[in-house]
Amino acid sequence: IAGITQAPTSQILAAGRRMTLRCTQDMRHNAMYWYRQDLGLGLRLIHYSNTAGTTGKGEVPDGYSVSRANTDDFPLTLASAVPSQTSVYFCASSEGRIGDTQYFGPGTRLTVL
């Protein structure tokens, strides 16, 4: 069982370029999440999805968009990357009830120059 996979593992991107980070889970979880991790700030929620077909904004959604066409996939798109989006991005999933454990992918390290 793979759990959550993320691609790419790392990427260097020129400012202004469009980029999609991929996330796939095989646990049939209802809820999925995207976080960014920055030194000294912990993890901050970008967007989430409670179930396929629905999405919501987290704490830091500006500059990012998501879609949830099916249960397994939850891609994160940067329409026009800026250097402040340099970060490590983690995808997570859970069954979707309050108090459920969130399971995390290995992360994508993104550098925007």
Partner 1 sequence: AQSVTQLDSQVPVFEEAPVELRCNYSSSVSVYLFWYVQYPNQGLQLLLKYLSGSTLVKGINGFEAEFNKSQTSFHLRKPSVHISDTAEYFCAAAIQGAQKLVFGQGTRLTINP
Residues near partner 1, by CB under 8 A: 4, 31, 33, 35, 40-45, 48, 50, 58-59, 90, 92, 94, 96-102, 104-107
- Quote the least distance from Cβ 23 to partner 1, whole Å: 11
> Nearer to partner 1 by C-beta: 14 or 39?
39
Which residue lies nearer to partner 1 by CB, 14 or 101? 101
Question: Which helix H or strand E contains 70, and what residues bound it?
Answer: none
Q: Residue 85 carries which DSSP code? A: G
Integer CA distances (angstroms), 84 to 12, 24, 77, 80, 87, in order: 13, 25, 15, 12, 8
